[in-house]
Amino acid sequence: MKDTTIDQNSAAPEMTSARHVVTVRDLIVRVYRRLLLVVICILLSCASAVFYLANSKPLYTATMTVAPPAQTGSATSSQLGQAFSAFGLSSILGNSTPQSFDLYQNLLPSLTVLQRVEDRHHIIRQVFADRWDVVRQTWRPAMGLRAEVRDFIYRIIGRDIPSPEPKIQDLVDYVRRHLSVDSVSLNSPVRVVSFTFTDPKVAADILRWLHEETDAVVRGNTRERTDGMIAYLRNQLPRVSNNDERNALTQLLTEQEQVLMLLTVGVDYSAVVVDPAVPPIVPSVSVEMVLIISFLVGLMLGVIIAIVIPSSRRRRAGMFGHDSRVHGDTLRGGQIASRIEPTGELP
């Protein structure tokens, strides 16, 4: 008899490629066979969303539209800079003069502004109302994973746990996380200031207070700068003998006095409110949107798990397929018979 051996080196690539080819139909069948698992994932995701909605307060986003003021001040500063450069006195202005609207946007969520808001309106107790114990008139410790991890680390390193009373820096961090300043459109100077909070009235009030105090800070800085320019110009006028230079300094002095007059008028200086903040009526995220997102997340997770988890047949094959040598395998056409023998010498 003539023994027929199978060239394992040539047959192995074909068997490997045939074994690892997965079509879309195979994936659909695999998901269909685990349809119950997909349904369970969807139900768990929706249940988590319902639990979240039942134990959390809805969030409201108040908006306020602001625009830069008239450019009179910038033109005056430009003329003043040119004149000072001609006289060799440009150092009084520095390298650049910040625009009031840019300064307004930078100062909006700053510590200086929020300290003024807190001094006038005491918003810490409103922002952190969930931590204030009305009965005992004391502050409760902050809840959540972040606070627990912080307290755990403090205990390990031997530091004292901070007082539960919120500080001004806590207010600054909170406002910066929930405040946004966005442009209305590309290359548009108009900005939309948004603030998200659980109370719609408090959200609108905080936006209005932030605008008032930020404008007051910018106004005060500009007034201090203008007073310094006026004092400098008045000091230089008697020392200038050239008539042209005296006329230029006199004109600049007049313009700075006009700016000082505008600063005393009770109108918006650094930013003009185009659309004031009003308490929103509809929450930022609706219940329907949360449920739809949870359904899609559960569906996606269930499909991924159904595809990734191997079948019971593949698990059994993986358990018993390591201690034997395969001399042949049945291909899709059934042309080659297979025989599995223990590892050892071929007969």
| Euclidean distance between CA atoms 85 and 77, whole angstroms | 12
The SS3 call for residue 347 is: coil
The whole-angstrom distance between residue 251's C-alpha and the CA centroid of its chain comes to: 48
Smallest CA-to-CA distance from 215 within 329, 305, 117 is with 117
Give the tens place of pLDDT for each residue, 276-309: 999 998 887 777 888 899 899 989 998 898 888 7
Please give the full DSSP string across 249-303, using - where no structure is assigned.
HHHHHHHHHHHHHHHHSSS-SS-EEEE-----SS-SS-HHHHHHHHHHHHHHHHH
The whole-angstrom distance between residue 146's C-alpha and the CA centroid of its chain comes to: 17
The whole-angstrom distance between residue 49's C-alpha and the CA centroid of its chain comes to: 22
Give the tens place of pLDDT for each residue, 93-142: 433 344 888 899 999 989 999 999 999 999 998 898 888 887 888 887 77
Give the tens place of pLDDT for each residue, 11-33: 445 544 445 577 888 888 888 88
Q: Please determine, for residue 181, whether its predicted confidence score (pLDDT) is greater than 70.
A: yes
Q: Please determine, for residue 60, whether its predicted confidence score (pLDDT) is greater than 80.
A: yes
**Single-letter amino acid code for the residue at 324:** S
The SS3 call for residue 133 is: strand
Are the C-beta atoms of residues 97 and 199 closer than 8 Å to each other?
no
Give this prediction's pTM: 0.62
What pLDDT shows up at residue 262?
76
Domains of the chain: residue spans and CATH: 19-55+289-342 (no CATH), 63-122+176-284 (3.30.1890)
Give the H or E element holding residue 139: strand 138-139
Are the C-beta atoms of residues 331 and 18 closer than 8 Å to each other?
yes
- Supply 160's token pair: 């004292």
Are the C-beta atoms of residues 108 and 214 closer than 8 Å to each other?
yes
What pLDDT shows up at residue 112?
93
What pLDDT shows up at residue 341?
45
| Euclidean distance between CA atoms 257 and 251, whole angstroms | 10
Give the tens place of pLDDT for each residue, 251-274: 888 888 887 877 777 678 888 899
- Supply 96's token pair: 């650049």
